[in-house]
Amino acid sequence: KAGVTQTPRYLIKTRGQQVTLSCSPISGHRSVSWYQQTPGQGLQFLFEYFSETQRNKGNFPGRFSGRQFSNSRSEMNVSTLELGDSALYLCASSPEAQLNEKLFFGSGTQLSVL
Amino acid sequence: AQSVTQLGSHVSVSEGALVLLRCNYSSSVPPYLFWYVQYPNQGLQLLLKYTSAATLVKGINGFEAEFKKSETSFHLTKPSAHMSDAAEYFCAVTFSSGNTPLVFGKGTRLSVIA
Q: What is the pLDDT of residues B15-33, one digit of tens each?
A: 999 999 999 999 878 888 9
Q: Hey, what amino acid is at A54? A: Q
Chain centroid to CA B85: 13
The answer to whether B59 faces chain A, any CB pair under 8 Å, is: no
Cα A27-A30-A31 angle, rounded to 5 deg:
120
How far does the CA of residue A88 sit from the closest CA of chain B (Å)?
10
| Dist. CA A109–CA A5, nearest whole Å | 10
Confidence band (pLDDT; 50, 70, 90) for A9?
very high
Kindly tell me if the per-residue pLDDT of B51 is higher than 80.
yes
Residues B103, B3 contacting (CB under 8 angstroms): yes
Cα A58-B44-B100 angle, rounded to 5 deg:
30
Reported as a single tens digit per residue, the pLDDT across A35-49 is: 999 988 899 999 999
Chain B residue numbers with beta carbons less than 8 Å from the beta carbon of A50 are 99
Could B49 and A105 be called an inter-chain contact, meaning their C-beta atoms sit closer than 8 Å? Answer: no
Pick from A50, A58, A100: CB nearest B94:
A100
Residues B42-50 have a mean pLDDT of 92
How far does the CA of residue A45 sit from the closest CA of chain B (Å)?
7
Can you state the percent helix, strand and coil of chain A, rounding each to 5? 5, 55, 45
Chain B residue numbers with beta carbons less than 8 Å from the beta carbon of A48 are 99, 101
Q: In DSSP terms, which residues pair with A98 in a beta bridge?
A: none
